[in-house]
Amino acid sequence: MSDHIFTGSGVALITPMLSDGKVNFDVLEQLLEFHIANGTDSIIACGTTGEAATLSEKEHCEVLAFVCEKVNHRIPVIAGTGSNDTSTAIMLSRSAQESGADAILSVTPYYNKTSQAGLVKHFNVIADSIDIPVILYNVPSRTGCNIKPKTYEELCKHPNIRAAKEASGDISQVALIRSLCGDNLDIYSGNDDQTVPFMSLGALGVISVFANICPTEMHRICQLCLDNNFAEAQKLHFHYLELMNIMFSDVNPIPVKTAMNLYGFDCGECRLPLVPMSVAGYHNLKDCLTKYDLINKI
Q: What percent of the chain has pLDDT over 70?
A: 99
Q: Under CATH, which architecture does the 8-229 domain have?
A: Alpha-Beta Barrel (3.20)
* pLDDT attached to residue 1: 41
Q: Residue 162: pLDDT band by 50, 70, 90 thresholds?
A: very high
Per-residue pLDDT tens digits for 220-242: 999 999 999 999 999 999 999 99
Provide the residue ranges of all domains of the chain, joining segments of one domain with +: 8-229
Give the predicted TM-score (pTM) of the model.
0.97
Instruction: Provide the annotated active-site residues.
Output: 137, 165
Q: How far apart are CA 135 and CA 185, in angstroms?
A: 9
Mean per-residue pLDDT over the chain, rounded:
97
Q: Where are the alpha helices (DSSP H) in the chain?
A: 25-37, 57-71, 86-99, 116-128, 140-143, 149-155, 171-181, 195-200, 215-226, 230-246, 254-263, 279-291
- DSSP secondary structure letters along 216-254: HHHHHHHHHHHTT-HHHHHHHHHHHHHHHHHTTSSSTTH
Residues 6+ apart with CB under 8 A from 274: 51, 251, 253, 254
